[in-house]
Structure 1
Amino acid sequence: MVLPCLALKSKIVSDSGFSRYVAIGDSQTEGLWDGDDTVGVIGFADRLAALLDARYPGLRYANLAIRGKRVIDVLNDQLPQALAMEPDLVTVCVGMNDVTRPGRTFTKAMADLDDVYQQLADSGATVVTTSFPDVAKMLPVGRLIGSRIQQVNEVITRAAQRHGFGLVDLYNAEAMNEPSIWSHDRMHASTRGHILFAEAAAEALKLPGSNHDWAMPSGEEVRDSFAERMYAQAQWTRSLLIPWIWRHARGRSSGDGRDPKYAELQPVSEQVRMAHQSA
């Protein structure tokens, strides 16, 4: 949510660009709510791949992200697959499913996230990661997980600084307060949100022509009445919380039985190019 390993792990863009890009993570990187399961989901990583391929033709791209996955799933499953592809670019966005999961596994998940970052740094690939937005501004229930959001963002930010990773800071971006950035559940990005996330990743990579406009408010009227927030809360409860409780009771995840949409490095698909061009 990539090139042969480079010696300078803080390097952002090589003179020749990127040739092997692997995206790892959960639903945000898979592309949930940018498209659907009938026509196919796209998402910010696909859009970034299209942007890179337009600038550096011949890019090969894999997206291993699967909805519902936690840090431990990325560490044990996706990361080894990604590193075996010898990427020169990796994007990683994971941790929200650990933030929202009740229980005592959160502290372990943060240690595992540090491990993910360390292994990526050791690989020599260029890495872009992202902090999480302030969910408390979008959902009443967000206040219950606000401290965890701050904790995971601290782990992410410190790792980015320590290893020289590109960082997309969603927590402090004013645009993230606009409802049109988010899908009906206010936890996943809308198509507009995924487009902006791709632009943010381009800025983190210091790609020519990129800028910080993605983080600026658009002028959209932000109406945040109690009724609207409660409606969003009801949508979140109906579409996320209740299905999660039912799956958890059966020991299942929303990603169970799903395969990565691009499990191997391949040319950027025409579908992704067309979606990027029409954005």
Structure 2
Amino acid sequence: MADQLETLALSSYAALGDSFTEGLNDPAPDGGFAGWADRLAGLLAERRPAGEFHYANLAVRGRLLDQIVTEQIPRIRQLSPDLVTFAAGGNDILRPGSDPDVVAERFEAAVRELRESTGKVLICTGFDTRGVPLLKHLRGKIATYNVHLRAIADRNDCAVADLWSLKTIQDRRAWSEDRLHLSPEGHQRVALLAARALGLETEMDPAEPWPLEPPHTAAELRRENLQWAREHLLPWVGRRLRGESSGDHVQAKRPELRPY
């Protein structure tokens, strides 16, 4: 009950991160992207009188941890929101040769800095990639990073949205066609998970099983994998070989705390 009362008292929220938090592949009515952070802001705003809840989203697709620390955390010192969600390091972990131990050290330094400027911090663990082509080979690195994140949360009194243990997010329907970003329903389940991690009661359950659907044949799966590799995997690999980012020239979609 205490956690819920504390969450109900929140009047401002700022989201930090990369494409996951920017909300890629969850279309918004204005033609941009919504995403789990926007959806979480909506759940929090519902508990406040109209116009009294303020929300900023500083996340930008493709950002590495150090870029988030340099570009986004200074804004938190200026905004001083009641709540910050901080999901970062995933793009670092995906890079060849990255060390999850080193990334975690930089992540904790950022968390400590955030704790000086905000009342509450929520962090997200990485997804379980066991069923994702190519990324399934990074599962061990992600698991190692997640162990660090949980320890960091304990040491710094952070809430945790444990994406790794949310089994329903491993369903293919939780992901968009590129298999790197969530579908609208996937974003909704993450928003519900984050709300519950903050102590908020939600009518919908993020772990609610998906409706049954007919199984795919082996031929259908091969065809889908080939199409995915051609349309999404190869361009993604190409950008990394060229040193490009999908976030080049992209600005934060909601840089100021505005009524939500």
Distance 1:231 1:13 in 2: 50
Structure 1 counterpart of 2:186? 193
Q: Does 1:145 align with 2:138?
A: yes
Q: Does 1:81 align with 2:75?
A: yes
Please tell me the root mean square deviation across aligned C-alpha atoms, in Å.
2.7
CA contact (8 A) 1:140 1:229 kept: no
2:13 match: secondary structure: strand
CA contact (8 A) 1:244 1:253 kept: no
**Mean CA deviation greater in 102-111 or 115-124:** 102-111
Task: Describe the shift of the 1:16–1:141 C-alpha distance in structure 2 as closer, same or farther (beyond 3 A).
Answer: closer
CA contact (8 A) 1:75 1:112 kept: no
1:264 match: secondary structure: strand
1:217 match: secondary structure: coil
Length, aligned pairs only:
257
Task: Describe the shift of the 1:237–1:148 C-alpha distance in structure 2 as closer, same or farther (beyond 3 A).
Answer: farther
Task: Describe the shift of the 1:149–1:230 C-alpha distance in structure 2 as closer, same or farther (beyond 3 A).
Answer: farther
Q: TM-score, normalised by structure 2?
A: 0.87
Post-superposition offset of 1:52: 1.2
The 5 Å alignment of 1:25-36 reads: 25-35=17-27
1:40 match: secondary structure: coil
Q: Does 1:130 align with 2:124?
A: yes
Distance 2:203 2:148 in 1: 25
Q: What amino acid sits opposite 1:109 in the alignment?
A: V
CA contact (8 A) 2:8 2:44 kept: no
CA contact (8 A) 1:185 1:232 kept: no
1:252 pairs with 241, 244, 248, which one?
244
Q: Does 1:46 align with 2:38?
A: yes
2:85 match: secondary structure: strand
Structure 1 gaps of 5+ residues are 1-9, 269-279
2:13 pairs with 18, 21, 24, which one?
21
Q: Does 1:264 align with 2:256?
A: yes
1:213 match: secondary structure: coil
2:123 match: secondary structure: strand
2:55 match: secondary structure: strand
Structure 1 counterpart of 2:110? 116
Post-superposition offset of 1:124: 4.6
Q: What amino acid sits opposite 1:210 in the alignment?
A: T
Identity across matched positions, percent:
35
